[in-house]
Structure 1
Amino acid sequence: MGRRIGRFVGLIGLMGLVMIPSMVFSASSEKTEKTEKKEEVSSSDVLLNEGLMKNLDQFSKVLFFIKKSYVEDPSEKDLLLGAIQGMLGTLDPHSVYMTPEVYKELKADTEGKFGGVGIEITIRENHLLVISPIEGTPAFRAGLKPGDRILKIDDASTKGMGLTEAVKMMRGKAGSKVHLTISRERVAKPFVVTITRDIIRILSVKSDLIEGQYGYVRIVSFQEKTAKFLHKALAKLQKQAKGPLKGLILDLRSNPGGLLEEAIAVADAFLKNGLIVKTDSRTEKTEERSARNDGDEPTYPLIVMVNGGSASASEIVAGALQDQDRAVVLGTQTFGKGSVQTVFDLGDGAALKLTVARYFTPKGRSIQAEGIVPDIIVESKDSVDESDEKRFLRERDLEGHLEGEQEKGKDKTAKTNIVELEVDSQKKVALDYLKSWNLFGRGQ
């Protein structure tokens, strides 16, 4: 029995949570946001810690008595996962154990191709909650909105349902249907949305030329080759404009994040020099990532658009360009996910994603639970009339989140007054600002 318990304890020291408060079912994987660094740890590394072994003695005894005397014969696997849930339940929402199936899906997400409906969700008050539907996906086309509560998946109640189970139920063969029972604010009764599953291919960069001289680029998420696609889009726009652009709108609204390296490369494209982001951890020295002193794109006026669905990698880009006085940030306050996750490969197809650091903007601002406050607050008509902005779930709303440095202090305020519009025309305001850039300039 002692050998079995020892092996069991060793595994517990390496694995993480299955039922988590937040998981991404979109092209924004949590591997994403952070370092692509993977580390392998053997069980002996854990077991050799004498102090840890003493602390685990009580756990070993509990396990022994459960296996010996419980009224039924429990599964060791279930006991293990239950212990893991309790252990990582004391940490932040983004530290998670990924089964081989979930880890495989995570890697597929970052490549921009996966099967399913295309939503980013979390768990709140024992129910699934939509953070954001991904643009262009079945969920987006079906009209799901941030803040929608998913009460049922087909006939199964989501109350108490783990995210791993939800993944299995919402993903399926392309062409098959899934029925989601939705509860929405200001809608009297729950209603059913039928979504046809599809192979989700996320086109991470979309572009358009406005009035023949202003560029518009939307980054849906930061996936592999996003920076490369950005450069291609900008080159195409300049060719269409038959010369240099007079200005650019970089739209990061409802972009839930993505690969850190791609976010850095995107910010680097607009910076000739200077810091982009820095990370600070408990075990390692502060790491700084800076522009490569080449500034690929011309120094035309730049507007970065954000909202409450802009998270993590999006906040890195917006914060860097704002702090380096390269762009005016316009929209509404961002999500506020400023933590760094590292993926630890467990060697059996499973992985542990663990929060290991916080990241900061070039001026040292912590994004965690605070987000990026735009230079110009502009709410869409829907936001003004129906308080849509309140529907956005933010990092500070997640149970167990890491607190931001100023979270207990006074609320941050915008640098300019809110602009309320008769129509949802944040993009129009951004264009108007570009046209008047010479009059107002950066940050006015």
Structure 2
Amino acid sequence: MNRRRSNGRRPFCFSPALQLSQRAELIGPKVKLHFMLKSLKRWSPLIIGAFMVLTVACGGGEDEAVTPFFEEDLPGRDRLIATASPLPVLDSPGDIPEGLEPVWETFAMLAREYVERESIDPEILARGAIRGLLDALDDPYTSYVTPAGFERQMESFQGDFEGIGAQIDNTPDGQRIIVVAPIPDTPAERAGIKSGDIIIAVDGDDTEGWSVIDAVNKIRGEGGTPVVLTIQRLGELDPIEVTIIRGTIPTASVFRRDLHDGDGNPEDPPYSIIRITQFTERTPEELRAVIEDIKDVGSDGIILDVRSNPGGLLESTVDVAAEFLDGGMVTYEINGRGVRRDWPADPGGSALDIPLVVLVDAFSASGSEVLAAALQDRGRAAIIGAQTFGKGSVNILRDLEKDDGGVYLTIGRWYTPNGGLIEGEGVIPDVTVELPFNAEVDLQLEAAIEQLNFQLSIVQVG
């Protein structure tokens, strides 16, 4: 497979939530990974060694080695018989990292002695070795991506795509798939999929033990084709089967609506809600356009809703924060070597003086947590809602030159401007308001309106 590869690097601040589509929500089209590891050099002897062994294992030729085996079918015989084998005896390379020699030895044993050597598929074994290395880290955000999955990642943020339009994650125990949120006006939302739904089967296949990538690969597909999700929903005793017809999913990530009273008239004072569903390359531009519209209608305040937002591109997250902050720190990263990198906002944002509150919930993760924490620490906005997810790791998608697949890697941790750790902690709202499942009234939104009313009253008194 020929694929253009990028020399750039781009960090992601995302939850494990991925779009159920022909893409996953992690990377932009230019693949500029600002924190990409320079290479996987310390693993390359292992991987190269694996390909050396397995390529030989599937070949043949005149220079055949002699490999012994036990002859078990002759009575009274228990001795080694010399027989021709197409596999040479392989020596271990001298530059295998210490501690990984057993991996090479295992490959070599397969090449020499496995009973069905002709059935060995080099790619399958090499990918299995990669998965084993990564799984041993017990890090849900570090994993192998197949070539097909990698291509879908590369398509991310490049335009409309086909799928059902939902964001998913693993459940806390890692055994099931949970819906973070359906994307507005998509097949998933129209079919009644809700945040918190547990997907226990896809087209009859049990999802126990699936990774998010496994689920994406199974649920995504061409527009117009059906997929059946078996859902366990909070408050329901029995599972629910939902048939969804896949369709084209819009990539818009910023949505605006103005608050109205019961008669359809603008509230007094009028407020506007800006909902950001994810952070894509287009998000900052979309946000600036929405802010200009809000200024035109004369809104007195903004409710920034990042509930169920799983994150996205860090650069876009920082650019979004910059519209509300006049320069200064948004977040900083500390990598595995203890090196710090700051991510400041550019000065001159378009909404510096508009009163602002931010809505968050338990599904606000990664980029949305970075944004909320920055606005909170900098004193720009009150945070309303529930404690956030607590996903504050720096992740990159690294391609494998010899495989056409890729590896997600965790390479650092994000911190708030005041030094707070997001990973495992989340963002604690200034005003905590839980939203009961299937609540008829959005209590968090009502609290946000009350907060804006309070802020405006202080301004008027002052």
TM-score (norm 2): 0.75
Q: Which runs of 5+ in 1 are unaligned?
A: 1-20, 386-421
How far apart are residue 84 of structure 1 and its match?
1.7
TM-superposed deviation, 1:130: 2.6
The yes-or-no answer on 1:214 pairing with 2:214 is no
Residue 251 and residue 126 in structure 1: after superposition, are their counterparts in 2 closer, same or farther (change >3 A)?
closer
Coordinate RMSD, CA, aligned = 2.8
Match of 1:236 among 282, 293, 304: 293
Alignment of 1:14-413 (within 5 A): 22=16, 24-25=18-19, 29-31=25-27, 36-38=34-36, 41=39, 46-47=44-45, 52-73=96-117, 74-91=120-137, 92-111=139-158, 113-123=160-170, 124=173, 126-161=175-210, 163-210=212-259, 211=266, 213-241=270-298, 245-283=299-337, 285-347=339-401, 349-382=404-437
Structure 2 residue identity aligned to 1:231: R
Tell me the distance in 2 between the aligned counterparts of 1:126 and 1:200: 27
Which region of structure 1 is more displaced relative to structure 2, 266-275 or 73-82? 73-82
Structure 2 residue runs of 5 or longer lacking an equivalent are 1-14, 47-92, 260-265
Deviations 1:330-357 (A, max 9, x none): 0111111100012323235422221100
Once the two structures are TM-superposed, the CA of residue 50 in structure 1 deviates from its matched residue by: 6.4
The answer (yes or no) to whether the contact 2:27–2:156 under 8 Å persists in 1 is no
**Helix, strand or coil at the partner of 1:168:** helix
Q: 2:156 aligns to what SS in structure 1?
A: helix
After superposition, the Cα gap between the structure-2 partners of 1:216 and 1:146, relative to the gap in structure 1 and judged at 3 Å, is closer
Residue identity in the other structure for 2:182: P
Whole-Å Cα distance in 1 between the matches of residues 284 and 204 of structure 2? 42
Per-residue CA shift, 1:210-249, capped at 9, x if unaligned?
33632221111111120111110010111122xxx32111
Q: Distance in 1 between matches of 2:451 and 2:112?
A: 71
Deviates more, 1:134-143 or 1:194-203: 134-143
Deviation at 1:112, TM superposition (A): 5.2
Cα separation, 1, equivalents of 2:283 and 2:332: 21
Question: Do residues 425 (structure 1) and 443 (structure 2) align?
Answer: yes
Residue identity matched to 2:387: Q
Normalised to the residue count of structure 1, the TM-score between the two structures is 0.78
Q: Whose Rg is larger? A: 2
Distance in 2 (alpha carbons) for counterparts of 1:131 and 1:199: 20
Residues 169-178 or 42-51, more deviating? 42-51
The Cα offsets for residues 265-291 of structure 1, whole Å up to 9 and x where unpaired, read as 010111113211000012362001112
Alpha-carbon offset, residue 163 of structure 1: 4.5
**What is the alpha-carbon distance in structure 1 between the residues aligned to residue 436 and residue 103 of structure 2?**
55
Aligned length, in residue pairs: 381
* 1:55 counterpart SS class: coil
CA distance, structure 2, for counterparts of residue 164 and residue 314 of structure 1: 22
Aligned partners of 2:161, 2:38: CA distance in 1, in Å? 26
Deviation at 1:434, TM superposition (A): 0.8
